[in-house]
Amino acid sequence: MSKNLVHKVPKNFHDAHITPQKYKEMYQRSIDDPNGFWADMATEFLDWNQTWNRVVDYNFSKGQAQWFSGAELNVSYNCIDRHLPKRAKQTALIWESDNPEESMEISYADLKTEVCKLANTLKSRGVKKGDRVCIYLPMIPQAAYAMLACARIGAVHSVVFGGFSPEALKDRILDADCRLVITADESTRGGKNVPLKANVDKALAHCPDVHTCLVVKCTHNDIPWVAGRDICYRDSVSVMSADCPPESMAAEDPLFILYTSGSTGKPKGVLHTTAGYLLQAAMTFKYTFDYREGEVYWCTADVGWVTGHTYIVYGPLCNGATSLMFEGVPTYPDAGRCWDIVDKHKVNIFYTAPTAIRALQAQGDEFVSRSDRSSLRLLGTVGEPINPEAWEWYHRVVGDARCPIVDTWWQTETGTHMITALPGATDLKPGSASFPFFGVQLALLNEDGSEVQGAGSGYLVVKSSWPSQIRTIYGDHQRLIDTYFSTYEGYYFTGDGATRDADGYYWITGRVDDVLNVSGHRMGTAEVESALVLHPKIAEAAVVGFPHDIKGQGIYCYVTLMDNAEVDGNLRAELIALCSREIGPIAKPDVIQWAPGLPKTRSGKIMRRILRKIAESDMDSLGDITTLADPTVVDTLIKDRISMMA
């Protein structure tokens, strides 16, 4: 793979923050002298109320990591107050509405006022340091205010993506024991309204401990109102003081919980803490995007995902940058919307997901070429492997062949970039996330746990702690150990497979566990299966991913009916609706195949490997099926699969 076309560092990046020489030196030092390296970075990037006693202590077998113990700081102070002497009037957030006619600029001074007022509202409703607050909001500035207001008073936010169902929202509120929810009447995306408050009402019917629901009025349509519990956001903050002193937090105090899917069970609450997370967020933002004073940066992710947390809010604001937040979708009013926004706000750095690139590529070049885009300097991608065709289109058509593309590999659990090109330091190979970030020590493991030497493929693991590492799974530390630190003793197991080529570039090949990546949204096959079997006619279900042109992976469901049940005209639609209701519209199955039986081992384990091959129509490489309890089920599945395609 090393003979892949290489895109050299362009001239205008020769004066980047990180040059090839600097990458080598800094990376080497970060490994040889982590204490000295991270202490220097911590001093350079953050303001502290009190310094640390030790830089790092960790023990992977216990799933423990402590960074900067003894130190104190406040995240909202670092993202807002400390910038005010220089940047009070500078735009912190640009908000672009779903409606192309509407946008807003929020200065750092405005941001301070909004965050303090909201923080005082939270306090007035009894929220204290350590309490959990649920945020279920559209892509509006209040989402950033809410996260920062929590950080200001030491409350722990749990942002739930606005596309999740009431059922999924309820589970997350209960798991984190949130007592206050911040939401909006409705969100608007692509000209359509989504009833967020109605979803919250359904969820809260099962959450007796929630005493307050703060409601931002966006569309002003009529919504149900529970007196005493529901509070109008604007009415409340308007009477609050614009002064709220930041709480001095310990470096390892929790900052947020964010739920993500695993291969088994319910989604887990990934917990990130204060100092290490913020430090690596700030550093990766500055270096990966080579951010320069005064530039406009736009990440298209939703704040409901970790990308929105780290690269819309914390990373950019900690650097005093201008971060654009977009409420809508890339295809409304038409497929040129992103490039219209780039021109309107003179965006310099644009960060999005491969699925969005493929969707826009499919609409044709005219939507791109009608715009100017001369402000663009750098492009980025995240969320799934990017296929070289999409990479080349992004580079040639969107970036006019002048903008480097940083392909950033990381996870909710890693908090921040772990493998990424640095635009002034890395010659790019399309489809490779390239090299580890400072302080990140990677290995590829063979099945038996030994390390692959040199070029080769294996399970991607991390060998030592990094500052923004997951600290625990909320309420279930054992699950953290079991999921990440037990598969291979002494390593953090990512769940991904990867290849390292002869030049040392890493190529992520995708999940090796039962986790799907559908349009960059992570989903456990078990979650979809649990939703399907709720239907009274369904006895059993097995879900696998299959290659999908736009989504990357699609959801393929094998469904076994109860003995006495029959497929009627509605069943397929009912199952799709069920997944949407239980999880959210992102979990709608793409294909449902009726399966009289599922391939199982004699001990009853479903052989998903075989199901994946059948879903991909790759019947010739099913591998060994002799260990199946009943190998004939495979013939039936193949026959039905072939007739479905006919």
Contact between 522 and ligand WT7 per CB under 6 A: yes
- The answer to whether 269 contacts ligand WT7 (rule: CB under 6 A) is no
Structure letter (DSSP) for residue 515? E
384 is in an annotated binding site: yes
Phi, psi of 635 (to 5 degrees): -60, -45
C-alpha 415/C-alpha 313 separation (Å) is: 13
Q: Residues 295, 407, 501, 514: which binds ligand WT7 (CB under 6 A)? A: 407
Q: Whose Cβ is closer to ligand WT7: residue 195's or residue 510's?
A: 510
Give the tokens for residue 514: 């039962």
Indicate whether 546 belongs to the interface with ligand WT7 (CB under 6 A).
no
Phi, psi of 487 (to 5 degrees): -60, -50
Place of tokens 């990546």: 517
Identify the three-state secondary structure at position 620.
Answer: helix
> Residue 519, annotated ligand binder?
yes
Q: Which of 268, 620, 207 is nearest to 470 (CA)?
A: 268
Q: Does 527 bind ligand WT7 (CB under 6 A)?
A: no
By CB under 6 A, residue 519 contacts ligand WT7: no
252 binds ligand WT7 (CB under 6 A): no
Q: Which lies closer to ligand WT7 via its Cβ, residue 339 or residue 410?
A: 410
Output 188 or 420, the one with its CB closest to ligand WT7. Answer: 420
Q: How far is the CB of 414 from ligand WT7 (least distance, A)?
A: 7
Place of tokens 């109320």: 49
CA 345 to chain centre: 25
Asked if residue 458 binds ligand WT7 (CB under 6 A), the reply is no
Give whichever of 140 and 470 is closer to ligand WT7, judged by the CB atom: 470
Judged by beta carbon, residue 270 or residue 341, the one nearer ligand WT7 is 270
How many other C-beta atoms are found inside a 10 Å radius of the C-beta of residue 296? 18
Q: Is 423 annotated as a binding-site member?
A: no
Residue 190 among known ligand-binding residues = yes
**Is residue 511 close enough to count as binding ligand WT7 by CB under 6 A?**
yes
Give the bridge partners for 428, in sequence order.
7
- Subset of 307-346 contacting ligand WT7 (CB under 6 A): 307
416 binds ligand WT7 (CB under 6 A): no
What is the separation of C-alpha 614 from the centre of its chain, rounded to a whole number of angstroms? 30
Quote the CA–CA distance of 204 and 214 in Å, as a whole number.
Answer: 13
610 binds ligand WT7 (CB under 6 A): no
Q: From 423, 350, 357, 422, select the one nearest 384 (Cα to Cα).
A: 357
Is 302 an interacting residue with respect to ligand WT7 (CB under 6 A)? no
- The verdict on whether residue 97 carries a ligand-binding annotation is no
Instruction: Confirm if 79 and 318 have CB atoms less than 8 A apart.
Output: yes
Task: Examine residue 236 and tell whether it contacts ligand WT7 (CB under 6 A).
Answer: no
Tokens standing for 9?
């560092």
User: In terms of CB distance, is 152 or 157 closer to ligand WT7?
Assistant: 157
Which stretch, 156-164, 505-513, 554-562, 583-591, contacts ligand WT7 (CB under 6 A)? 505-513
Number of residues that bind ligand WT7 (CB under 6 A): 22
Q: How far is CA 260 from the centre of its chain?
A: 9
Q: Give the Å distances, CA to CA, from 315 to 85, 98, 343, 415, 535.
A: 20, 24, 23, 11, 43
Binding status of residue 411 toward ligand WT7 by CB under 6 A: yes
Is position 496 annotated in a ligand binding site?
yes
Whichever of 508 and 542 has its CB closer to ligand WT7, that residue is 508
447 half-sphere exposure, CB direction, 13 A CA radius: 0
- Buried-exposed string 464-486: b where 16+ CB fall within 10 A, e elsewhere: bbbbbbbbbbbeeeebbbebbbe
300 is an interface residue for ligand WT7 by CB under 6 A = no
Of the listed pieces 168-176, 321-329, 381-389, 543-551, which binds ligand WT7 according to CB under 6 A?
A: 381-389
Does the footprint of ligand WT7 cover residue 383 (CB under 6 A)? yes
Q: Which of 521, 534, 633, 522 is nearest to 582 (CA)?
A: 534
Q: Is 617 in the site for ligand WT7 (CB under 6 A)?
A: no
Q: Is the peptide bond between 333 and the residue preceding it cis, with omega within 30 degrees of 0? A: yes
Q: Helix, strand, coil proportions of the chain in percent (round to 5)?
A: 35, 25, 40
Of the candidate residues 113, 300, 323, 408, the single one contacting ligand WT7 (CB under 6 A): 408
Q: Which of 393, 410, 438, 493 binds ligand WT7 (CB under 6 A)?
A: 410
| Among the listed residues 255, 421, 433, 614, the single contact to ligand WT7 using CB under 6 A | 433
CB of 508 to ligand WT7, least distance (A): 4
Residue where the block lists tokens 């004073």 = 293
Q: Is 38 one of the annotated binding-site residues?
A: no
Nearest to 288 by CA among 379, 387, 398, 395: 379
Going by C-beta distance under 8 Å and a sequence separation of 6 or more, which residues neighbour residue 197?
Answer: 183, 184, 185, 186, 213, 215, 223, 224
By beta-carbon proximity to ligand WT7, the closer residue of 384 and 582 is: 384
Q: Virtual CA dihedral for 486, 487, 493, 494, nearest 10 degrees?
A: -120
Q: Is 514 in the site for ligand WT7 (CB under 6 A)?
A: no
Q: Are 56 and 67 in contact (CB under 8 A)?
A: yes
CB of 441 to ligand WT7, least distance (A): 17
Q: How far apart are CA 207 and CA 202, in angstroms?
A: 9
Tell me the per-residue interface mask from 472 to 501 with ligand WT7, x by CB under 6 A, - otherwise: ----------------------xxx-----
**Applying CB under 6 A, which residues contact ligand WT7?**
260, 306-307, 382-385, 407-412, 433, 494-496, 508, 510-511, 517, 522
Binding-site positions for CoA: 189-192, 307, 519
Q: Which residues are annotated as a binding site?
A: 189-192, 307, 383-385, 407-412, 496, 511, 519, 522, 533, 535, 538
Residue numbers belonging to the annotated binding site for Mg(2+) = 533, 535, 538
